[in-house]
């Protein structure tokens, strides 16, 4: 870094330090691909409006209890280096920063963040098989694939591979949950194996009444020997319980017998709780969630879809949206289709349409372009925080336009019967997860274009109605 650049970044660092409340208010600092992330003791001490006008800053917002300042790819690395050095916080990782931020979360936020972390760990596998499912579905529609022995065999193997993880998803969730909550991951695998043991009646067969279920009695309580195929909620609960039991026994058991006795007691107690308490409760909870969502689609129809897609981004603002991962996973294993994914996706692209509408109203402002264009690009990959906190929430009427646009997109999702075969990715990458049945790919594009255009036009209309001439100062 040459002297001239360093001098400029030092000036930025000094100004930012003052505007976030001084060195004594900074708990931690790190950076991601485009943003400088700062955890403060008191976020109210940060002057976000003045930060937006600092040299090279393209936007600022608060998310995940972090003040996130947008500089852009590459530039943020250099700014971070100087800023961290100036504040004596060199070499702090993004993981360390998240740990600091988590300390400021309330109990509900911590629970939801923990659920998100569980699914992030196994997301690559879920995305891989979801994409394979889509590929297999597309190939199966071609006659030459069905008639060619080799191509048919390859597609059959792809189909087998695509269904594998969903059959063992509770095991993967139990493993990831135990790991996330501080236990030894191998014990999560053990519990997952117990849940899916071939000694138990298959859960789907038991539900259809095609297999005989053995019932044991423990202290007068009936325990049905039924497996937990599709038991995502149960796996989450068991992952937490197993991790805490592992930690407890590791602390209490004398070291001389710990290696033998600790995992034994953890597994035994976990297994008993699984069949006697957690399993039945988890099944009822999972059934309630799935039935509630299905009830919404069957009884509220288009209105239910529109309400969900119209308000989903408001949930993102609160930070409570991470819980949808667990719900989507349960929905997939129970019904085979995830209608929430396209609904969330159109809600996301609608916020991007609102950003473009705002940009059109203030197209002569270079500062607005610097903020809106990167924010819209992020939206295309399913990330709305820069758009929400940089423009839409800040000026309010783009948020309204985006929410209405999302609701309109939700109507298209309903009438086209759109659904996904996986979860974890949306908007442009999300098309790969779309169920190809009934021209699913085409309708996926139509729904997103509808939401984007509707939000774009509504934002312009609302902006003109408000006679908004104020351009964003980033």
Residues that are catalytic = 32
DSSP string for residues in 370-416: HHHHHHHHHHHTT--HHHIIIIIHHHSHHHHHHHHHHHHHHHHHHHT
**Tokens found for residue 405:** 């646009």
**Tokens found for residue 293:** 């969502």
Q: How far is CA 377 from the centre of its chain?
A: 18
In sign, the C-alpha dihedral spanning 139, 141, 147, 152 is: positive
At residue 287's C-alpha, the angle toward residues 286 and 292, to 5°, is 105
Helix (H, G, I), strand (E, B) or coil at 112: helix
Q: Which residue has the tokens 């109605």?
A: 465
**Tokens found for residue 266:** 């953890």
Q: Cβ–Cβ contacts within 10 Å for residue 375, how many? A: 31
Helix (H, G, I), strand (E, B) or coil at 200: coil
* Sequence-separated (6 or more) residues with CB below 8 Å from residue 288: none
Q: To which H or E segment does residue 74 belong? A: none
Q: Do residues 164 and 462 touch, judged by C-beta distance below 8 A?
A: no
**Alpha-helix residue ranges (DSSP H) falling in 75-181:** 75-86, 94-102, 107-139, 143-147, 149-167, 169-180
Local structure of residue 43 (DSSP, 8 states): G
């Amino acid at each position: 870094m040459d002297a001239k650049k360093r001098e400029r970044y030092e000036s930025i660092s000094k100004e930012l330090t003052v505007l976030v409340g001084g060195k004594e208010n900074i708990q931690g600092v790190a950076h991601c691909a485009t943003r400088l992330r700062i955890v403060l003791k008191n976020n109210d001490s940060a002057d976000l409006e003045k930060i937006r006008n600092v040299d090279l800053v393209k936007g600022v917002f608060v998310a995940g209890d972090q003040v996130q300042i947008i500089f852009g790819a590459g530039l943020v690395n250099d700014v971070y280096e100087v800023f961290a050095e100036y504040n004596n916080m060199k070499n702090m990782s993004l993981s360390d920063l998240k740990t600091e931020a988590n300390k400021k979360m309330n109990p509900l936020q911590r629970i939801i963040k923990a659920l998100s972390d569980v699914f992030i760990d196994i997301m690559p596998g879920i995305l891989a098989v979801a994409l394979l499912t889509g590929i297999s579905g597309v190939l199966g529609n071609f006659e030459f694939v069905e008639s060619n022995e080799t191509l048919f065999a390859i597609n059959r193997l792809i189909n087998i591979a695509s269904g594998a993880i969903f059959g063992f998803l509770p095991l993967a969730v139990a493993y990831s949950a135990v790991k996330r909550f501080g236990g030894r991951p191998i014990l999560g695998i053990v519990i997952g194996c117990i849940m899916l043991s071939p000694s138990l009646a298959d859960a789907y067969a038991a539900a259809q009444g095609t297999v005989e279920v053995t019932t044991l009695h423990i202290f007068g309580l009936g325990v049905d020997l039924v497996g937990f195929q599709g038991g995502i909620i149960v796996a989450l609960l068991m992952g937490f319980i197993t991790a805490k039991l592992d930690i407890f026994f590791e602390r209490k058991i004398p070291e001389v017998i710990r290696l033998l006795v600790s995992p034994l007691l953890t597994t035994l107690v976990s297994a008993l709780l699984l069949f006697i308490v957690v399993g039945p409760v988890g099944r009822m909870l999972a059934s309630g969630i799935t039935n509630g969502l299905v009830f919404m689609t069957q009884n509220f129809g288009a209105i239910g879809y529109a309400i969900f897609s119209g308000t989903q981004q408001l949930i993102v603002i609160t930070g409570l949206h991470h819980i949808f991962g667990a719900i989507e996973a349960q929905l997939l294993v129970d019904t085979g289709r995830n209608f929430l994914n396209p609904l969330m996706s159109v809600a996301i692209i609608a916020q991007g349409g609102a950003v473009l509408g705002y940009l059109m109203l203030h197209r002569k402002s270079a500062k607005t372009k610097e903020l809106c264009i990167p924010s819209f690009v992020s939206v295309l990959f399913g990330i709305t925080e820069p758009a929400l906190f940089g423009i839409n929430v800040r000026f309010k009427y783009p948020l309204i336009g985006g929410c209405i646009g999302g609701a309109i997109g939700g109507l298209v999702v309903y009438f086209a019967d759109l659904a996904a075969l996986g979860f974890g990715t949306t908007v442009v990458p999300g098309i790969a997860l779309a169920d190809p049945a009934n021209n699913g790919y085409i309708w996926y594009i139509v729904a997103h274009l509808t939401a984007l255009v509707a939000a774009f036009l509504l934002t312009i209309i609302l902006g003109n109605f408000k006679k908004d001439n104020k351009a964003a100062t980033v």
